[in-house]
Every structure is written in structure tokens, then in C-alpha cells.
Structure 1
Amino acid sequence: MDNPIHRRCTTLRGLVVLVAAAAVLLLSPAAVTPVASHNDHGVHNNYLVLVRSAYEYDKKVHQNVSSWHASLLASVCDSAKETLAADPSAMTRLIYSYRNVVNGFAARMTPEELEKMSKMDWFDRSLPEQTYHLLTTHTPEMLGLTGDPNRGGLWNTSNMGEGVIIGILDDGIYGGHPSFDGAGMKPPPAKWKGRCDFNKTVCNNKLIGARSYFESAKWKWKGLQDPVLPISEGQHGTHTSSTAAGTFVPNASVFGNGLGTAAGMAPRAHIAFYQVCYEQKGCDRDDILAAVDDAIEDGVDILSLSLGHEDAIDFSDDPVSLGGYTAILNGVFICAAAGNTGPSPATLVNEAPWLLTVGASTSDRRFVASVKLGDKVEVDGQSLNDPNTTMGDPRPLVHDADGMCANENVLMAQNITGKIIICDAGGVVSTEKAKMAKRAGAAGMIVVIPEVFGPVVIPRAHAIPTVQVAYAEGQKIKEFMQTSRDATATFVFKGSMFKTPQSPMVAPFSSRGPNRRSRGILKPDLIGPGVNILAGVPSIEDVELAPDAVVPRFDIKSGTSMAAPHLSGIAALIKHAHPTWSPAAIKSALMTTAEPTDNLRKPIADVDGKPATFLAIGAGHVNPQKAIDPGLVYNMTAVGYVPYLCGLNYTDQKVSTIIYPEPPVSCANLSRLEQDDLNYPSITAILDQPPFTATANRSVTNVGAASSTYVVEVEVPASVKVEVNPTKLTFKAEDEVLNYSVTITSADGRAPASPVEGQLKWVCGKYVVRSPLLVVAGARQA
């Protein structure tokens, strides 16, 4: 097996000479290309170079795929003669040689070299460098993981995910965090082939792997050197890792808030960490591909990616899609964040149907504080100040001149010493505003959340006592200030409160559908906790601590980045309980058991108070207790996506790029599959032309009682008619597969003016296998 490489052309001189003498490509002796000899002073950029699917390396000539890729690069790059006085580091040319995720390599070349390479028979296409971004307790109890298994507690049923390996791609991990203590953990399974580049005292039976990938990223970011340690102490990566599989840590809190025992979703699962992102620098596509390449060979069971690109990138160009397909081809479940650019429509990322795409929801816990006005009226908000903090006597309330408290000179000039200043969001982050207000002498700060966030408040720890309030509550405070001659207020810190009504609710930032690359596939797939999640960090940012203070190791963070590891950990629980299930079966179990209603049994609400649409919640909110025993699953193998990709009118070469290392395909020789016929747990019908009818075909596999009969129930508005055939599914054995079809027709013979939502349920006793049913107008093609 080829070892992972981060190789430099200068270290390949002997190899290049050998290749120059005997370079033979697979198809023809005519493909032999002599090494170019030139003095290269051009501008260098990083490119992902994809090799045509018909080409592969000759094992008689090349020791491994890396040496083959080096020979291809050497055909246009004479590394031995390369001298770049202006940029000596550009002597590194071959960045990554990929073995699993794509047929290709990442390299550093000039435009002239790339132009020459593009004329080679083996060359398919090149993609310029691209930067991806991170998409940034109480939830185990909220999700029903704790407690008596007879009452739905899932940890006992699934043994907390013991033996399952979760691979996390993120921005670094603090290996010494108590969430990654290996005490009581069994060694990883024998299949684990990864490595830990920390020293031996850091890695253990919990954190079994730690590697970093920066060979591509460092070319963009001057000064980014090889870390002193292989992994940086990332806030984001530590938080996501401990959310997915952190072990039990008692007395965890944020300044006394959320006090309790912290644990991840799968406390006995193993963590393999792959750093592909760097603070304020993003995540390079080629580094992401390299990490997935290695993770698959290392033996991970689950991959969790809280990163993405805001553009709707073609599946054949996107590292998450490319790596994700190879992952499921190897039986690895892959979970990805939906993005944080909501609530605008068509903003979600990671749209490929073989990924579980996760949006974010609120939990039922709030960190309550109130602004007690001089007229004794209390305005509710949230705060991470210690609940034991007392503000004392009322203080004068003051405005900032520009409303946003973003200019320290203005704050200094306003004489806010000893006063409470009210600030609108914007300009700079509120934690920076608190620091400036503290230097100006303010006693406290009120932050008014933007109106688009509705009632959702995301508190942060601040340098001075601070209460964050929703927009509507902020207007009440401002009105009080306008109508009172000497407006005063004080703060009352109340700490954590649970069972918040109307929970969960869709997070305002959670990206929404429709799916831009494949409109016939509903995305996101479902939502999970992603607001105010308490999990591990190296230390709390933006708060000045006393010299002798204990460094806090937990913090509150929000984002679909926080939702994705919840689902990754829950998938690990299911994987432990059902080790033979495919990634598609696990995904189906999570989706068909998801809840469309909140804790008041009303439809899950959006931040405007109206019922959230399927484009915001997908199948609904995750319900782990039901997902472990779903009754039926919509199963499929990786090869089942090939006719679907052909149906999207992808070229043969693009399809072959996606499904690599499977053999190349010819769509002309396959039956193309319409999007609505993909065996997906949700159903989207596109009524785009007369007679405005569509038929979706599905197959379900029995994973419940061997002998069982399911009866269909359909709930749709009168504007569409739905016919299911057959209306009963009678199973006689476990793993038996039965088929059905759903025909959706516009009731008035016209395309729907707006999306129509309904649901299809197969019901058998305790089992309710639910699929959201979405009907839309528009082009059938993505």
C-alpha cells in the first residue's frame, strides 16, 4: 500500500531521472514525454490535477502511485533545474498524491506548465486552489441518550458507541483536554491503521489518531510553517470532537452556567483527528482530500466534516462530495454541516445525496438573565455571566452615538463610566465591544440581537457583565430610555433554565434549501442541536482571567458545525448496534424517524414563529431513540448513485471522477435515473411540464420484526393528489426488500405556484417510517 506523501520535487531527483529514462504511460508508447528543461521563474499556483479515468499507473514501472504522479508532473516540471530566488519555497511541486478519493494529484505549477500539461493524453482537467470554511452538556439528556434503556435511554442499548472510530476533520484539537481522557477505554479495533503525531503522553485509547495537513494551505498563507506540534490547539476542532465522542467530565460549566457532567454523543467511541483548517485561514481543498484519503485507509467508521464552501460546487469538483463517495464505497458513514448562511434560501452546502447534510436547531436550555428597568419591568435575555454575579443598584442607561459601540474613541468621549451601555449588533463582535466598553469604564452592556434572529439569542462570555436580548426586547428597552428622564437598569442573572417551550426551533443561521446541484433531492436531510452547545475548548476566548484563575475548559458555541458532530456521534451509536448496516441504511434510520414537531407537539417553528419548511428542517429533528430501531430502511450501495449521476447529465469523465477508484463508466450503456427515483428517504416530485405528474419508485428493507405488515398513510394538501401502489407491504423475513411507487399529480392540472409539503408514512404497530413529501415546480435538471 502506498504511504501518504507530502513530497518535494527536490527529494525526487533520482526518481525523476529514472522516470525521464523510462516513463511509460499505460495506453501507448507514444505517451512517453521527455522531461522539459527550462529556467522556471513564473508565478506558481496550486492546482488539483485530475487524470483521465482510462489511465492508471503501470506497477512494473512505478513503485507506487506517488512515483507515477511524480513522473507526470516531471513531464512539464524539471525539478532538478528549478531555481526560484524570489520564492525558494516554490521548489515544492508535488503536494499530494491521492490514492483513494480521486485519480489525480495536487501540484504547484505556473500557468505555462499547466497549459503544456493540458495537452497531455492523460490530462482530464485542473482545478485552481479553493478555500473552504468551518461552519461553526445538556444535549445527551435532551436527545434521550441517558437513562433506563427500558424508557428509551440509548447509551445502554448501544454501549455508548464502543469500538466505533469517528474521524473528525477540523482546525486542531487540544489533546490534553479531559474530554479525551482514555481511562477505562478499550484499545481501538485491530483494523485501525492510523497514527498519532502527538507524543505518546497525549494520544491514548480515546484520542487514537492525530495528524495535520498543511502542504497545500501553506503556499497561500505566508508565515504558516510546519507546526511545532503536529496539531494546533483548535477551539473549533476541540469543541466538535468532544461533542461527537467526548468522555464524561464532571462539573463542566461556563462560569457556572450549564453546570453538570459533560459528555459527547458516543462517549466510548474512539476519535481520529485530522487537522485541515487553520484559524482565520480556512481549509484548503487539496488538504481536505488528502485527509479523507488517509482516513479511509486508517479504518475510520464515521467521518464528521463541519466545513464547506458557500458556492454550489459541482459534485465532481468538491472535495467533500468526492471524498464522501469514496468513503461510502468503503462503508464509511459521512456527516457534513449544511452551512451558516441562513435564513436566506438556496444557501446550503454539502448537497450530494451520499452525505448526511445537517442543519442546526435550538435546544431546550437557556442561560437566562434579565434587564430590570427602573420602572421594575424585567426584560428577558441571556447571559453567560456567573449566576452568582450581582449587579447591585440600578445604573444609568446610555446609548452609543452610532448605536453599535464599534468605535472606542466615541465610547471614551461619551463618559460611560459606571453606566450600562446599550449596543446594537454589528461593526465588530460583541466580545470586542465589551473590551472597549470596559476600558471606557462601563459597568455593563446590553447587546441587541439582529431582527432576523427572532427569539434566538446566542450568548457569549464577555469582559464585563452583559445581557444579550432579542430584537423585540431591545426595542422595549430603547422605548423606556426615550420616555424616561433618568433611565436606569440593573441585571439579574438566573443561570440555566430547561424545558424551554417551542423547542427545538430552527436556528436562524442554519442554511436552507433548495439543493442547488440536485433540486430533486431534499436538503438539508435533517436538523440537530447546534445553538448554545456546551463542549470542550482549550480555553475561553475574549475573556480576561485573573492570573491565578483556573482556565475554563468548556465553552458555548453555535453553528451547523456543532450540529454535525451530534449526528456523527449518534451515527456511531447506531453503527455499534448494527455493525453490518450500510451508510445509506444508517442515514435512512436517522431521517425516517426524525420528528417534525417540537416539545409542544406543534410543527417545528422557524425564527419568524411560522412552521418551518422542509427546506429548513429536511425530515425533521433527530430522534436517536427511534433511529436505533426504525423498522424499515431505504438501503442502497454506492453503485446505486451512478445512474443518478448520469441522470444529472454529467459527462462520463465527471461520473468516473466521482466514483473513483471504481472502473470508469459509460452513461450511454446505463439506464439513467431521474432524481425522484433515487432510493432516498425523502421524496421530492418536480412537476415541470404537462400533465404535471411524477412517479417516484422506492425500495424498503425490513430491519424490524420478521413478520410484519405496513400500511401506508399519506397526508398532503388538496392541491395535489397522491397514489401509492401497493398500499400495504407484508414482510415475511428480516432483510426482505419490497418495492412501491408514489404517483403525485397536480389537482388543477397546473404546476404548483409554491412548494407543497406533505408526508408519506408506513405504519406497523410502534413503527412509523416517515418520509417528507415535497412537490415543486421548475426544471427537472439541477
Structure 2
Amino acid sequence: MEISGMLLLVITLFLSYFSLNIHCLSTHNDQNQITTYIIHMSKSQTPASFSDDHITWFDYSLKSVSNSAEMLYTYTNAIHGFSTRLTAEEARELETRPGIVAVLPETKYELHTTRTPMFLGLDVNSGLFPDSNSVSEIIVGVLDTGVWPESKSFDDAGLGPIPSSWKGICESGTNFSSVNCNRKLIGARYFSKGYEASLGQPIDVTKESKSPRDDEGHGTHTATTAAGSPVSGASLFGYAPGTAKGMASQARVAVYKVCWLGGCFSSDIMAALDSAISDNVNIISMSLGGGDTDYYRDIVAIGAFSAMEKGILVSCSAGNGGPGPYSLTNVAPWITTVGAGTLDRDFPVYVVLGNGLNFSGVSLYPGDSRFGDKLYPLVYAGNVSNATNGNLCMIGSLIPEKVTGKIVFCDRGGNSRVQKGVVVKEAGGVGMILANSPANGEELLADAHLLPASAVGARFGEEIKKYLLSIPNPTATFLFQGTKVGIEPSPVVAAFSSRGPNPLDPQILKPDIIAPGVNILAGWSGAMGPSDLTTDTRRVPFNIISGTSMSCPHVSGLAALVKAAHPDWSPAAIRSALMTTAYTTYKNGQSLEDISTEKPSTPFDHGSGHVNPILSLDPGLVYDLDINDYLNFLCAINYTPTQILTLSGKIFICDMTKNYAISDLNYPSFALPLLSNNNSTLLVKKYPRTLTNVDSKASTYIVSAKVQSASVEVSVEPQSLSFSQLNEKKSFTVTITAKTSEPVNTFVFGQLEWSDGDHIVKSPIAVSWT
């Protein structure tokens, strides 16, 4: 995996992957080492003497194991409890005290890291969208690296008063005050106690702002993608010119800074979720998160459960661990999990070789007059290096005497793509060709390099390498082409986008959906250069970056539009509308492509498909879920009462006489994992589902189901559903029959559709043998 070129940052926006995957760090070290713990208390077990003052009860419980420990935060919405610093022995002792539900060690999280409105159809059919007054009542909460309030994307011109539902604040701090908020950016908070506790000292305000201010750029980018105001004449160095605006450009933004130079810490994230719920946001967007641990140990899953219960949709990035399987994060069924696809826009630059052949690549370097007609010597980094991995252009690895005045061919891996260019530049090189590895395939992510450069796919990289290694004096030059739109096919699933099957619960198909996440233009911090390198002194109001970090806020903003049109819909209904109206084929009928294989993508890659905003506003039918459905799901995965209490805050005892099943969850997709063996006996699985009519007119829906293999059969009863009124519910059962056992890693995919002639309500089907 590539690492950041920003040596001071542990939170790394991988400009190759913009990795927002979570890396959980164990805090169970030396018994005397003091670390942070989140203490989950049982509200129902509050002693009568503390019934009016639970904070005192928290403090009493804490002092029973440590006279010196202090509470970092108290939590009342996302969970009932507090965070503190304890030794491992004190934590174990506290866990035995009455009323303690769980003692969770601090977890460190890291970030996952225009044409989009036009690509999604938001520039047409405006009459189909909710009016601006309705959208302006919706508040999108963004948990990230903070905000650059001076960005024009937070202009509040034309917006009315702040919604009366808003209960939050605009918090002052280093380089930030309450005057930085307005009717667009209505709230800003920062949460640093967990981070400072991990540092063992206060934040150094000469290096980062102890305030909501975004010193990194990622938070500003995600917030403006979700709900930025329209800004005409936006571009990055002239690339991707046009009007930049967020998906819900009239919605309000509330920012919660939880990520710092040293990472994003779970105690801070929990405090932010607690505040966002109290502040009455409608949508929570988090381009970070976990998923590689049980739900009751995952702070994001716990906080999202509380938000869901209060009617708040939580949208999270799927992670950038693709194209490998089981690489997903944020897979809880009450979270909307978003993967990444491409736009129909590219930034081509051609590599022209001395033999006359040329190969297309991409770059956000704005061109160089030295190139075009003049050819430069071309060298392979592995031949001009003093390091064993010299082909990777690592820091200090190139020999200046062999590089000066030449174009250097570098292979991907080991460090960030933009940092390789800096290495070449510092060694005296005039340009760089950066070739994908076979794992990266043909996916091209554009970067704002600090020297003339072109990133090329794995195949072209091999062709160029053959040329430069086959003759004594190879040469090359660049031809910069600017911005091109109308690229086909598009969208395609990004290679970095994390894939299923679901690593925690394979019967819940994830990701839920994909949205634009490659080469996305949005607002940026004035404190950081576009390459994310400390040596980059350039400052830009907009930047182009890639990752599921970028696809997540697209869905967050689109969910805000659906919420504005249907304010009474639950988070599950909104997600269902986005999922069942998504598309999986191009206009020519061909299946969406996976760029990592250049073959048709599957539901493990794209979930229900690529989001379709216009259709999502009128889905016809939705698969709805409430708190009881999710509690039954927890029983189905055999959670104990304590684990359910830790996750949900509810005392819920599973009925031992009831046969709970994951397949009973009213989810808008169907996944059947099977064990591969020699048993030829039929395996039959039933999926009861209920659809809610959200169309005002009476209609009858007819079902159809298709699968790709004769080894799997899908039947539905009944085959038609008639609705006569709004919000009427009808149930049906899907039966999936595996007729034969298949070899390991055999997959069969299909689709279930309900249609009344006006609406098509689609759900993916995935059967796998493992």
C-alpha cells in the first residue's frame, strides 16, 4: 500500500488510493501504561441517588478505581457514558463495577480519501427536485478534518434564516471564530481531547489549528461535495472548469472536526456523533470508519445506530482496499455504505516516444512549454538508483548525475505518486512517467504533480518500459491535452473501491451503492497545497482528488435531497430509494464495467448499482426498517444481551422461542453465502420482505427475477402486489434454491425487479460458494 508524502501527517489522503480505511491500533500494552477508554454505562441502572445527575454517577464510578483520572468527554446521545484515561488494570476493575456495560479501548481511525451534477443529471429536470426552501431546511453534518470557511462554496447568498430545528453552535478556537459561520455553514465544532491525550500534550497550534479550521483539505472537499453552494469559474489550474456545486447546494452544513495530524480517535468521534445528534442534523456524512471488528466494538457503528434511531441517515465510505475481496469497511446494515465509480471526464497527457509511438496517461500538471516538439532522454529509475527498490523512486534513491535533464520512468508502490515526482525533480529530472502495477491495472488517478508527468496504465507502462530498455538512447516528450469530457464507458467501478463479500455478515450485501469518487473537483483548504505535500507551496481554492471519501458525500448530499422531498421517510426508506433506483447497465444495455478487470462488475463491486438521483425521488416502493428490525437482526447474529446493550443502548432480550434469521431483515438486496462441498442436496433459503407504497396512486406491481446460472433458481410468491393507497404495505417471499454445490469462489449474480409500468424497483442477488 502506498503511503503519504506528507511526513508530518499520520492521517493520509492517499492520492493514489485516498485511503480512508480504518486501522485499529491495539491499546493493550504495558499494564501500567495509561490509555484512553470509552466507558459505556447503562442508563437504566442509574442509582436512584444519581437519577437527576448522571454525570456525578459517572465520576463516582470512575473514582472507584482511580483518584487521579478525569473524564475527557461525557456522552448522552450516541451512548450513555464517558471517556477517560486508565491503566489496563484500572480498566478491567472498572468493567466489574455495577452499571458498566462495556469498557472499549480507544481506536485510531484514518481518513479514506465540476462535472458531477451534470453527470448525475442534476442540471436537468429541475422541476422534479424539491424546492429550495425544503432543501434549505436539511442539515448535513460532516465529520472530517474541519472546514475552510473562506471557501466560496460556503457563500450563503440567497439562503433564508437558519432552520429553527438547529441546536448547534459555531465554536471558536485557533484561527477560527463564530463570525466564520453563516447561514450556509451554520455550525462548526472541534473535538481534540482524545487526540491530545494520545499525544500526551496540548496541540501545537503553530502546526495545526485547535479549532474547526481545516488545515488539511479533506474535510472542506467532502463538505462542499455534499452541500457546497454554486461557484462559477471553478477549476484546478484550469482543469475541470465550470460551476462547482454540492449535491444539495441549498442544504445547510455543520462541520465536526475529529481528524488531526495524528489521526482520528474514537473518543473524539463519539463526542462528535453525540453532538451531531443533539444538534439535530438530518444527515451524517463520514468518509472514515471501521468495519473490521464486531459492531458492538466499533464506535462508528455504535454512534450510527443511535443516529438511525433518531431518524438521521448515516452515509459512510466503503474504504479504498479494492480490488481485493472482503475489503469493505462500515458494513453495518444501518449504515449506507458507498463505493466509488468514475466520471465521464479525464485529463489526458500523451507520452510520445522517440520511435513515434504515443501512449495516453493523465496528469493535473498544467503543462510545460519545454515539451511538445523537443524529445528528452528517457531513463528507467531502477537503472539510475542507488537503492534495491530504486524503480519505485523512493526518497533519496535517484542518482542526480544520471537523472539531470532527463525524463524518469518510475513504478508505483512504496510512496505516494506525487512524492515520486518530487524525488525526480530534486534529483534534477525534467519529467516523470509513472506506471501502474498489475494490481492497479488501467485505473488512472490524476494528480497535481510538481513537475511535468504522466501516469499511465499497467499495459502502456510495460510497452514504454520495453522501448526504453531495448535501445541505447531512448527519448520521450509530453503532450498536455487539458480537460476532456464524454469519456466512455462511464461510470466504471474504481479499482481502489473496496469490494464484497461483506467480511462481517456475508448475508448482508455490501456495498450498498456506488457514486462518483474519481478525480472529483471540490473546495480545498487554503493551508495545504493540492498535492498534499508539505513542500508544495501552491494554494488553490479547489482541488481534484479521488477515493471513496469523495463518493460518500455525493450520496450524503443526494440523501439530503430525498429527505427534503420526503421529510417523513426513515433513513432505511431513503437508502432503499437510492438503492432500488440505481442502474447497473449503460444506455447500450451493457453491464457496468470494473476497471480493475475490464469485465462486467458485480454486486460485490457496485452493490445495487450507480446512484440515480432523479429516479430516487420517486421510487414507487421502498423497503423500510425500524429499530425493532435491527434488534431482531442482532439476535439473528447471536449477540448477547450485553452486546446488544453496548451497541444499541437498549435492554433487549432475544426470545429464545423465536427463530431469528439474518435473511428476515427487510433489506433491499439478497445475499446467500454457501459452503462448497460434495453434497448435491438442494439448499433452499427463504427471504421474507415487505414493500411500502410511497406513490399516491393505486398500482399493481409484477415481479421478475433473473440469475446468471442454471445452478441457482429464484422464485417469488406472490408474483404480483396491488396497492390502493399511500403507505400501504405488502409482503412477499423470495426463495433462492442452489441446485448444486459449486467450487470455492464460484459466484452467481442476478436481479429481482418489481414493476408497475412507471417504476422499476430493483434489488441485486448474490450467491457465493466459499
TM-score, scaled to structure 1: 0.87
Q: 1:447 aligns with which of 434, 452, 469?
A: 434
Question: CA deviation digits over 1:211-251, x for unaligned, max 9?
Answer: 11111121212455275552232311011011101111111
Decide whether the 8 Å contact of 1:685 with 1:696 is kept in 2. Answer: no
Q: Does 1:96 align with 2:78?
A: no
Q: 1:363 & 1:745 partners in 2: Cα distance?
A: 38
| Residue matched to 1:613 | 602
Q: Does 1:406 align with 2:406?
A: no
| Residue matched to 1:83 | none
Alignment of 1:162-173 (within 5 A): 162-173=136-147
Q: CA separation of 1:501/1:614 partners in 2, compared to 1, >3 Å: closer, same or farther?
A: same
| Residue matched to 1:338 | 318
Point out the more displaced range, 403-412 or 102-111.
Answer: 403-412
| Residue matched to 1:260 | 242
3-state SS, counterpart of residue 597 of structure 1: coil
3-state SS, counterpart of residue 341 of structure 1: coil
3-state SS, counterpart of residue 423 of structure 2: helix
| Residue matched to 2:25 | none
Decide whether the 8 Å contact of 1:505 with 1:598 is kept in 2. Answer: no
Q: 2:715 aligns with which of 723, 736, 761?
A: 723
Q: 2:316 & 2:100 partners in 1: Cα distance?
A: 31
| Residue matched to 1:185 | 159
| Residue matched to 2:544 | 556
| Residue matched to 1:373 | 353
3-state SS, counterpart of residue 403 of structure 1: helix
| Displacement of 1:747 | 2.5
3-state SS, counterpart of residue 166 of structure 1: strand
| Displacement of 1:541 | 3.6
| Residue matched to 1:508 | 495
| Residue matched to 1:768 | 760
Q: 1:247 aligns with which of 229, 234, 245?
A: 229
| Residue matched to 1:134 | 111
3-state SS, counterpart of residue 697 of structure 1: strand
| Residue matched to 1:312 | 292
Question: CA deviation digits over 1:656-711, x for unaligned, max 9?
Answer: 22222x4x111136745311110000012345695400110000011124210100
Q: 2:598 & 2:245 partners in 1: Cα distance?
A: 32
Q: 2:697 & 2:369 partners in 1: Cα distance?
A: 59
Question: CA deviation digits over 1:176-220, x for unaligned, max 9?
Answer: 111112222222211100001142331001111111111112121
Q: 1:597 & 1:736 partners in 2: Cα distance?
A: 31
Q: Does 1:195 align with 2:177?
A: no
One-letter code aligned to 1:376: G
Decide whether the 8 Å contact of 1:411 with 1:437 is kept in 2. Answer: no
| Residue matched to 1:5 | none
| Displacement of 1:471 | 1.2
Q: 1:543 & 1:652 partners in 2: Cα distance?
A: 46
Question: CA deviation digits over 1:340-396, x for unaligned, max 9?
Answer: 111111111111101100111111111111011122222100011225756141111
One-letter code aligned to 1:769: V
Point out the more displaced range, 181-190 or 134-143.
Answer: 181-190
Q: CA separation of 1:196/1:464 partners in 2, compared to 1, >3 Å: closer, same or farther?
A: same
Q: 1:182 & 1:683 partners in 2: Cα distance?
A: 43
Higher relative contact order (CA 8 A, sep 6+): 2
3-state SS, counterpart of residue 722 of structure 1: strand
Q: 2:692 aligns with which of 675, 679, 701?
A: 701
One-letter code aligned to 2:446: P
3-state SS, counterpart of residue 334 of structure 1: strand
Decide whether the 8 Å contact of 1:257 with 1:387 is kept in 2. Answer: no
Q: CA separation of 1:629/1:159 partners in 2, compared to 1, >3 Å: closer, same or farther?
A: farther
Decide whether the 8 Å contact of 1:403 with 1:423 is kept in 2. Answer: yes
Q: 1:57 & 1:409 partners in 2: Cα distance?
A: 65
Q: 1:711 & 1:544 partners in 2: Cα distance?
A: 56
One-letter code aligned to 2:469: Q
| Displacement of 1:639 | 2.0
Unaligned runs of 5+ in 1: 1-40, 80-91
Point out the more displaced range, 755-764 or 550-559.
Answer: 550-559
Q: 2:165 & 2:155 partners in 1: Cα distance?
A: 22
One-letter code aligned to 1:66: I
Q: 1:443 & 1:189 partners in 2: Cα distance?
A: 54
Question: CA deviation digits over 1:19-59, x for unaligned, max 9?
Answer: xxxxxxxxxxxxxxxxxxxxxx953211122234651354x
Decide whether the 8 Å contact of 1:46 with 1:106 is kept in 2. Answer: yes
One-letter code aligned to 2:153: S
Q: CA separation of 1:42/1:422 partners in 2, compared to 1, >3 Å: closer, same or farther?
A: closer
Decide whether the 8 Å contact of 1:687 with 1:693 is kept in 2. Answer: no
Q: Does 1:738 align with 2:730?
A: yes
One-letter code aligned to 2:139: I
One-letter code aligned to 1:588: S
Q: Does 1:273 align with 2:255?
A: yes
One-letter code aligned to 2:288: L
| Displacement of 1:119 | 2.9
Higher CA-based Rg: 1
Q: 2:100 & 2:316 partners in 1: Cα distance?
A: 31
Q: CA separation of 1:389/1:613 partners in 2, compared to 1, >3 Å: closer, same or farther?
A: farther
| Residue matched to 2:91 | 114
| Residue matched to 2:443 | 456
One-letter code aligned to 1:171: T
| Displacement of 1:257 | 0.6
Unaligned runs of 5+ in 2: 1-30, 384-389
Q: 2:593 & 2:717 partners in 1: Cα distance?
A: 33
Q: CA separation of 1:375/1:532 partners in 2, compared to 1, >3 Å: closer, same or farther?
A: same
Q: 1:586 & 1:752 partners in 2: Cα distance?
A: 36
Q: CA separation of 1:223/1:107 partners in 2, compared to 1, >3 Å: closer, same or farther?
A: closer
Q: 1:713 aligns with which of 704, 708, 721?
A: 704
TM-score, scaled to structure 2: 0.89
Decide whether the 8 Å contact of 1:53 with 1:653 is kept in 2. Answer: no
One-letter code aligned to 2:662: Q
Q: 1:462 & 1:340 partners in 2: Cα distance?
A: 22
Alignment of 1:626-641 (within 5 A): 626-641=615-630
Q: 1:51 aligns with which of 41, 49, 60?
A: 41
Point out the more displaced range, 769-778 or 616-625.
Answer: 769-778
| Displacement of 1:408 | 2.9
Q: 1:678 & 1:496 partners in 2: Cα distance?
A: 46
Decide whether the 8 Å contact of 1:515 with 1:523 is kept in 2. Answer: yes
One-letter code aligned to 1:374: G
| Residue matched to 1:26 | none
CA RMSD in angstroms, aligned pairs only = 2.4
| Residue matched to 2:613 | 624
Alignment of 1:612-691 (within 5 A): 612-660=601-649, 662=650, 664-668=651-655, 671-687=658-674, 691=682
Q: CA separation of 1:430/1:670 partners in 2, compared to 1, >3 Å: closer, same or farther?
A: same
| Displacement of 1:69 | 0.9
Q: CA separation of 1:184/1:395 partners in 2, compared to 1, >3 Å: closer, same or farther?
A: same
Q: CA separation of 1:576/1:506 partners in 2, compared to 1, >3 Å: closer, same or farther?
A: same
Q: 1:678 & 1:399 partners in 2: Cα distance?
A: 55
Question: CA deviation digits over 1:64-113, x for unaligned, max 9?
Answer: 3322211111122224xxxxxxxxxxxx6211211122232211112332
| Residue matched to 2:592 | 604
| Displacement of 1:149 | 3.0
| Displacement of 1:299 | 0.6
Point out the more displaced range, 665-674 or 484-493.
Answer: 665-674
Alignment of 1:348-427 (within 5 A): 348-386=328-366, 391-392=371-372, 393-400=374-381, 401=383, 402-408=390-396, 410-414=398-402, 416-427=403-414
